[in-house]
Amino acid sequence: MKAGRKNMRRACDEGAAVALAEGESIMQVLTLRGSNVIEVMDGEGVKSLALFPAKFQKSFWIKSGSFVVVDASGRDQALESGSKIACVVSQVLFHEQVRALEKSGNWPAVFKSTTTEASEAGTQAQAAHVDEELDSEDDDDLPPLEANTNRNRPFELYSDSDSGSDS
């Protein structure tokens, strides 16, 4: 592992507490647009495009719904100049870091509802799945599966003829 990637991973492992610098804010990833561009939403609900730097490419993976720290200090200037990308991701937040920020009070109120709804939805889905398993003992209500007509099965053609009971 190269020194840059090793130092970045070490900093993420050691630094459970996140300190936001001037111009940095916590944003939620909405969609991945491709070629290191992601769509994020800030604490006020404003959507914008952010650049996911190449130095994170093989070290961190993000998906829709994850949280990142974004440097949005030049956001207004970028939008005035006509650039679609308004900010740059400076850090990816892991589950432990998100929990620590929620407890500390630095967490935006907009995201509190999404994290609690996601956890409640997960527990409700698990409970519904358990109830389904208990109720699904009898599968007679389902229609029978149809035969796959995409493949020829010559051995079935010959198996229906004389079964060999004459010998």
- Phi and psi at residue 5, in whole multiples of 5°? -70, -40
Residue 105 within any structural domain of the chain: yes
Q: Note the pTM of the prediction, 2 decimals.
A: 0.61
The vertex-42 CA angle with 39 and 44, nearest 5°, equals 135
- Give the separation between CA 23 and CA 19, rounded to whole angstroms: 12
Please report, for the domain that includes residue 91, its CATH number: 2.40.50.140
Residues whose CB is less than 8 angstroms from the CB of residue 71 and which lie 6 or more positions away in sequence, other chains included: 21, 23, 24, 87, 88, 89, 90
Residue 166 within any structural domain of the chain: no
Whether residue 89 contacts residue 59, with contact meaning beta carbons closer than 8 Å, is answered with no
Q: pLDDT higher for 155 or 53?
A: 53
- Give the separation between CA 60 and CA 53, rounded to whole angstroms: 11
131 has pLDDT over 70: no
Q: What is the mean pLDDT of residues 95-104?
A: 84
* Number of domains the chain is built from: 1
Residue 136 within any structural domain of the chain: no
Domain that holds residue 18: 3-119
Whole-number pLDDT of residue 43: 87
Residue 68 within any structural domain of the chain: yes
Residue 161 within any structural domain of the chain: no
Residue 160 within any structural domain of the chain: no
- Give the separation between CA 83 and CA 94, rounded to whole angstroms: 29
49 has pLDDT over 70: yes
Q: What is the mean pLDDT of residues 99-113?
A: 81
